Amino acid sequence: MNPGSGGGKVDRFRLVERTARYGAAVRTTGAGQGAAGLARQAVEDGAAVLGVAGGDGTVSAVAAVAADAGLPLVVIPAGTRNHFARDLGLDLGDPARALEALRDGEPVRVDLGVVNSHVFVNNVSFGIYAEALLEPEYREARARTLAAIAPRYLGGRQWVDASVDTPEESVEHPQVVLVSNNAYHLSTPRYLGRRFTLASGLLGAIVFKRPPGPPPPDLFARLRRDLRQHAIGASAETGVVAWAAAQVRLDGPAGRLPAGIDGEAVELHLPATCDIRPGALRLLLPRRRPGVPQIR
């Protein structure tokens, strides 16, 4: 469990105490004790099931260990946004409900994404604003992301220093590239950025071409507008390409490329090759859960 995730949800919902009632051994992250290391130690100690309480980065780290060990994973949504847990249909308002999976969990298999040697449960993103573009809360997302990326944007790092092949063409120096573990829903504003399946066996990919000329003063608004136009079938001035594939590859002369993997900042060697591992992750889900919306 990650006590620092979600503003302290582990403590607020008494998750350590409530998990122990199911007979589970609980270990918490801290100085020198990362989630992946704790999970590997649990595997060595003979664990039959792994569980993780934290945000998407913590979940991703433990999911990689669980998949490699062939063990089922129980996900407890104790982070801030909990995108993976949300798309599994878990109750984000009461993380403790996920603990019911320890008693009588429903076994489910879902896909995992991999970029080079890194596993991701949600996405790998390249370029500024990539994560915020699919946040329904536009104003909050814009403010949060602008604070994080403004120095890079003003300093000239406002596009992806690589090329990516799309079904339409090879795009040089795109503005944003977002590769997800299964495709994001784009056409309904209410469900923007949701995934209604995590078992299609395909990655989702979205590429935003770079606007011509100097960077606009409000790049985020420009990209959101282009995404809306693409979603309704209109032609976006700068161009958005979205598709599904088993592999997406970025390459270029830079050698290394800044990226975000499930919200965690990394640098990837080029070429950066994203692949899908169909059904690689075993999960135990609570039988009583909100589920995902049914879109017609």
pLDDT digits (tens, 9 = 90+) for 162-212: 999 999 899 999 988 999 999 999 888 888 889 999 999 999 999 999 877
| 129 and 77 housed in the same domain | no
SS (H, E, C) 112-180: EEEECCEEECCEEEECCCCCHHHCCCHHHHHHHHHHHHHHHHHCCCCCCCCEEECCCCEEECCCEEEEE
Please state, as a whole number, how many other Cβ atoms lie within 10 Å of the Cβ of residue 152. 12
In a domain, 27, yes or no: yes
Question: Collapsing DSSP states into helix, strand and coil, what is residue 10?
Answer: helix
Do 94 and 222 belong together in one domain? no
> Does residue 63 sit in the same domain as residue 157?
no
What confidence tens digit (pLDDT) does each residue in 37-80 have? 999 999 999 999 999 999 999 999 999 999 999 999 999 999 98
Domain boundary among 104, 133, 165: 104
Position 226 confidence tier, pLDDT thresholds 50, 70, 90:
confident
Question: Is 94 in the same domain as 159?
Answer: no
Domain contains 295 = no
User: Where are the strands (E) in the chain, listed by range?
Assistant: 50-54, 73-77, 106-115, 118-120, 123-126, 163-165, 170-172, 176-181, 203-208, 240-245, 247-251, 256-261, 264-269, 272-285
Verify that 207 and 257 share a domain, yes or no.
Answer: yes
**DSSP tag of 71:** -
Write the CB contacts of 76 (distance below 8 Å, at least 6 apart in sequence): 1, 15, 19, 51, 52, 53, 54, 85, 95, 96, 98, 99
Cα-trace Rg, the chain: 19
The verdict on 137 and 248 lying in the same domain is: yes
Q: Is residue 116 part of a domain?
A: no
* Domain identity same for 217 and 247: yes
Residue 224's nearest CA partner among 145, 113, 108, 117 is 145
Does residue 173 lie within any of the structural domains? yes
Q: How many domains does the chain have?
A: 2
Provide the CATH number for the domain around residue 265.
2.60.200
Tell me the pTM.
0.89
Residue where the block lists tokens 């909100």: 290
C-alpha atoms less than 13 angstroms from C-alpha of 196 in its C-beta half-sphere = 10
Helices (H), ranges, 232-274: none
- My answer on whether 16 and 147 are in the same domain is no
Range of the domain at 268: 123-277
Q: How far apart are the first and last CA of the chain?
A: 37
Check pLDDT > 70 for residue 109: yes
Structure confidence at residue 291 (pLDDT): 86
The residues that bridge with 114 in the sheet, in sequence order, are: 119, 275
Query: 95 with 127, same domain?
Result: no
Q: Is the domain of 146 the same as that of 24?
A: no
Q: Are residues 58 and 161 in the same domain?
A: no
Length of the chain: 296
What local confidence, expressed as pLDDT, does residue 141 receive? Answer: 52
> Has residue 155 been placed in a domain?
yes
Tell me, yes or no, whether 216 lies in a domain.
yes
* E strand or H helix at 58: helix 56-69
In a domain, 160, yes or no: yes
Note whether residue 115 is domain-resident: no
What's the pLDDT tens digit per position in 114-142? 999 999 999 999 987 665 656 655 445 54
Whether residues 144 and 19 share a domain: the answer is no
Q: What is the mean pLDDT of the chain?
A: 88
